[in-house]
């Protein structure tokens, strides 16, 4: 750390605009902590609303829709799915729950990706996997899908960016070496 030698930082100045932004950031963080302690019910309601809207939007992009009165209970895990579309909704919810509840401890591994794919019950695209695993490169996802296709648990329908993948009816996706 050469910057700390020879008093080089002594003459370093922070622009006033940056100082102002850092001050606002610290103030906002304090307000966030206060809001979190005082209004946990409101934050939970907002979190649920965001989850429902996220699941609905992501699935609608893929052409998966369910009745409006069933969406919220499905996303919140209050009812069992009745058909394939509802299974897709709950599978996507389970994948999101895994990511949100374990985000700090999750390491992106082939087994984690297999688990995410296991939660996707219908057809899915590489873009779906990218949304579920934002830190994983497209090339890595494609390699994993190619391995899984060779092993048998998934098959590809179509070619190119619009290609759909689906789990085979046999169901379970084996871990490496099993």
pLDDT in tens, 44-76: 888 889 889 988 888 888 788 899 999 999 999
Higher pLDDT, 85 or 103: 85
Residues 102 and 114 in one domain: no
The more confidently predicted of residues 37 and 170 is 37
* Of 87-91, 143-147, 169-173, minimum mean pLDDT range: 169-173
Domain closes at, from 106, 126, 142: 106
Distance, in Å, from the CA atom of 124 to the CA atom of 114, rounded to the nearest integer, reads 13
Q: Which residues contact 110 (CB under 8 A, 6 or more apart)?
A: 144, 147, 176
Judgement on whether residues 75 and 124 belong to the same structural domain of the protein? no
Within 8 A by CB and 6+ apart from 162, the residues are: 125
Whether 3 maps to a domain, the answer reads no
pLDDT band at 34 (very low <50, low <70, confident <90, very high): confident
Confirm whether 13 is domain-assigned.
no
d(CA 153, CA 173) in angstroms, rounded, equals 5
Mean pLDDT (whole number) for 148-171: 79
pLDDT averaged over every residue in the chain: 80
**Structural domain count, the chain:** 2
Helix residue spans in the chain (DSSP H):
16-38, 40-61, 68-75, 84-102, 110-119, 126-132, 138-151
Last residue of a domain, one of 43, 73, 106: 106
Range with the largest mean pLDDT of 81-95, 130-144, 161-175: 81-95
pLDDT, residue 79, reads 92
CATH number of the domain at 121, please. Answer: 1.10.10.10
The yes-or-no verdict on residue 161 having pLDDT over 80 is no
**Is 174's pLDDT higher than 50?**
no
Per the CB < 8 A criterion, the answer to whether 70 and 77 are in contact is no
Domain of residue 168: give its range.
109-178
Confidence band of 80 (pLDDT split at 50, 70, 90): very high
CA distance 101 to 77: 15
CB distance 141 to 133 below 8 Å = yes
Position 171 scores a pLDDT of 47
Residue 6 belongs to some domain of the structure: no
User: Does the pLDDT at position 109 exceed 50?
Assistant: yes
Query: What letter does residue 175 receive in the DSSP assignment?
Result: P
- Taking phi over 0 as left and psi of -120 to 50 as alpha, with beta for the rest, 122 belongs to beta
Q: Residue 38 pLDDT > 60, yes or no?
A: yes
Tokens of 135: 């830190």
Residue 164, H or E segment: strand 164-167
Q: Which of 61, 86, 106 is the last residue of a domain?
A: 106
Q: Tell me, yes or no, whether 127 and 176 share the same domain.
A: yes
Q: Are residues 78 and 97 in the same domain?
A: yes
How far, in Å, are 72, 105, 139, 148 from residue 152 at the CA level? Answer: 34, 29, 20, 6
**Is the predicted pLDDT of residue 1 greater than 60, yes or no?**
no
């Amino acid at each position: 750390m050469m910057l700390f030698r020879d008093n080089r930082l002594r003459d370093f100045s922070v622009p006033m605009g940056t100082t102002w932004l850092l001050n606002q950031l610290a103030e906002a963080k304090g307000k966030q902590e206060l809001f979190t302690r005082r209004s946990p019910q409101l934050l939970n309601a907002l979190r649920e609303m965001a989850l429902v809207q996220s699941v609905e939007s992501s699935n609608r992009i893929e052409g998966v829709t369910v009745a409006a009165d069933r969406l919220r209970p499905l996303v919140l895990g209050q009812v069992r799915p009745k058909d394939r579309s509802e299974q897709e909704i709950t599978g996507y919810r389970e994948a999101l729950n895994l990511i949100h509840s374990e985000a700090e401890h999750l390491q992106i591994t082939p087994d984690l990706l297999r688990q995410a794919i296991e939660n996707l019950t219908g057809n899915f695209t590489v873009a779906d996997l990218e949304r579920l695993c934002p830190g994983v490169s497209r090339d890595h996802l494609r390699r994993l899908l190619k391995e899984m296709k060779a092993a048998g648990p998934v098959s590809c329908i179509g070619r190119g960016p619009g290609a759909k993948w689906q789990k085979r009816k046999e169901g379970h996706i084996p871990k490496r070496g099993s």
